[in-house]
Structure 1
Amino acid sequence: MFHSIGDKSPNWNGWKLVLPAVSIGNVGQLAMDLVITTLSMKKVGYLHHESLQALCGNDALNSNSGITEGNLTIGTEVFEQADKRLVCVQQRVLFVKGKQAAFRRDLLEWIKTCGFTSVTVLTSSASHERIDCQLTGNPFRYLTTPSFDKLLGDSFEKTFDWTRLERRKDNWSGNHGNQSDITDEASGVFIPGGGLAAKLFRECCERDVALAVLLVFCSEGDNIPDALNLVQYLNQWLKLAEENSAGNAKGGPWKYPASWSLLFGREVDPTLY
């Protein structure tokens, strides 16, 4: 599944893994762009899987070269930051219809093989699907598997004052017709528009993987503010960027990648009018 672009396979035993879910507003992917660019992370390989659609384009991250050098970006790439013992996956493509389950299965095998201490999924959830208690206040929520709780306990709530995602009686991960095979930890987890997050959470509960899901409620549109919001929460925990460091003027310590200059296309040529 993982293919290294170096001479030898990296050793990530004891490192942390962060990856996005392709979700509403692409918030998780935008947040990953911010992390990878700000930390100047090194591209070390890519994920190749039959479930992932093909993509090849110009360098999306290098703010120095931008569109001039012709460095290639492909669908799902892997980056590392050795000083922080951090691995990040950036996924820019959708899944082939009916193949996501196979990807999740092989992804978990890769996670186990690499020996990551924890896995964090960045995602979003459709704001129009919120229940009453979610309509006001902070739009951020989190989920953790039992294995993750053994590592950190309830520090997310006590230290950071985060809110755990509320469970729903009428919905659960996977929308199965029978709840008998759903673990207590995963029952009632509903993340509409959240991509693979809910099902991966359920499978990590079953397979004893230390996983945290960080999400924000949002709608489609300009989702850069949502990505900045989400990555700030990630930063509270992992301490990736100094809050007072020089970065993008609008994004605090976070640096925008070169590709964001074309996020909404070029400005209209005024001579047209």
Structure 2
Amino acid sequence: MSDTHIWRFFDDNDISGYTLIIPSVAVGNVGQLASDLLISSFDMVRIASVYSTAIIPVLGYDPYDLNSSKLSSSCEVYKCATRNLIVLQIRAPLVYRYAKPFLNEVVLKFKEKHVKDIVILTSSFAHEKKYISTSPFRYVANELFSRKNEIKRLNWMEHEFHDNGLKIYGGGFASLLFQICSEHTMPCLVLYKYCSEGNNIPDAYEMVHYIANLLPLFSEKKDLMSQLVEPVSWKLLFGRPPPIDIY
């Protein structure tokens, strides 16, 4: 651990065999919103807080509990033991010059803890979508990812590679993190959705629905929508309404 990346774990329980979800700060923040939805729906427990010079510092109220006296920071880790799921929620953009060392440490940190695989959630500019009538979702998985046969069964559309490697325009650090995972022989999947800026809550719901087809996170005996719980912080997603005094 370096002085520029400080991990504070509140829970040292074993997380070997867990799936780690990491949202990339990207167009529409779809990955972050989807992660918020998962954290809130499963009432996940915060197990760590991360400080790094790579992350723009942000501090605020607990986004999932209005009655909590705890503060939330730019980067925190949440755990759901019943579903073997970990979410590394990142709430601020990464500083470009420090991004690679930080992401490298993230992968090594969770590889040491024997996490099973990493799923990166992100998004891409809507105007980059070439085939209009197809699904708005695309994926890319490395050879180590164990669920590739299930993905083929689901008939997901794969990202189109070009000569310059993996490029997801508007996708933030997703491509870099995928490369780092592959370099460290960590099974990894990137799932992204073409979208535009605006109210991206519907995109987050769609992403959770999509990933739920692959990962056994929700009960098949109940309707998926009935199992999703919106974070209380979404009520202020666009700030307060304009004051009536201005009219």
Regarding TM over 0.5, the answer is yes
How far off is 1:80 after superposition?
Answer: 0.6
Question: Larger C-alpha radius of gyration, 1 or 2?
Answer: 1
Distance 1:40 1:57, change over 3 A: same
- Measured on the aligned residues, the alpha-carbon RMSD in Å equals 1.9
Deviation sequence 1:152-197 (CA, Å, 0-9, x none): 3432021x2211112224xx3xxxxxxxxxxxxxx3x220111111
Q: Does residue 36 of structure 1 match 2:47?
A: no
Whole-angstrom distance in 2 between the partners of 1:93 and 1:4: 20
How far off is 1:2 after superposition?
Answer: 2.8
The residue aligned with 2:175 is: 198
The residue aligned with 1:220 is: 197
The residue aligned with 2:3 is: none
In structure 2, the gaps of 5 or more residues are 1-5
| Secondary structure of residue in 1 paired with 2:227 | coil
The residue aligned with 2:152 is: 157
User: Match of 1:4, as an amino acid?
Assistant: F
Whole-angstrom distance in 2 between the partners of 1:27 and 1:161: 22
Deviation sequence 1:87-121 (CA, Å, 0-9, x none): 11111011124111111211121121111111101
Superposed, 1:78-157 pairs within 5 Å as: 78-130=77-129, 132=130, 134-148=131-145, 151-157=146-152
How far off is 1:236 after superposition?
Answer: 1.1
Deviation sequence 1:208-263 (CA, Å, 0-9, x none): 1100111100111111111111111111112222366478xxx5531111110011
| Secondary structure of residue in 1 paired with 2:31 | helix
Stretch of structure 1 that moved more, 30-39 or 253-262: 253-262
| Secondary structure of residue in 2 paired with 1:256 | coil
Whole-angstrom distance in 1 between the partners of 2:148 and 2:209: 21
The residue aligned with 1:178 is: none
Identity of aligned residues (%): 31
How far off is 1:47 after superposition?
Answer: 1.9
The residue aligned with 1:264 is: 238
TM superposition score normalised by structure 2: 0.91
Whole-angstrom distance in 2 between the partners of 1:146 and 1:219: 31
For 2:51, which of 23, 48, 53 is the aligned residue?
A: 48
How far off is 1:50 after superposition?
Answer: 2.1
User: Match of 1:224, as an amino acid?
Assistant: I
The residue aligned with 1:177 is: none
Whole-angstrom distance in 1 between the partners of 2:222 and 2:40: 14
Whole-angstrom distance in 2 between the partners of 1:45 and 1:153: 30
Stretch of structure 1 that moved more, 90-99 or 116-125: 90-99
| Secondary structure of residue in 1 paired with 2:214 | helix
Distance 1:260 1:211, change over 3 A: same
TM superposition score normalised by structure 1: 0.82
The answer to whether the 8 Å contact 1:126/1:217 transfers is yes
The answer to whether the 8 Å contact 2:141/2:148 transfers is no
For 2:16, which of 2, 13, 16 is the aligned residue?
A: 13
Whole-angstrom distance in 1 between the partners of 2:141 and 2:148: 10
Runs of 4+ in structure 1 over 3 Å off:
242-247, 268-273
Whole-angstrom distance in 1 between the partners of 2:84 and 2:63: 23
How far off is 1:269 after superposition?
Answer: 4.6
Aligned length: 242
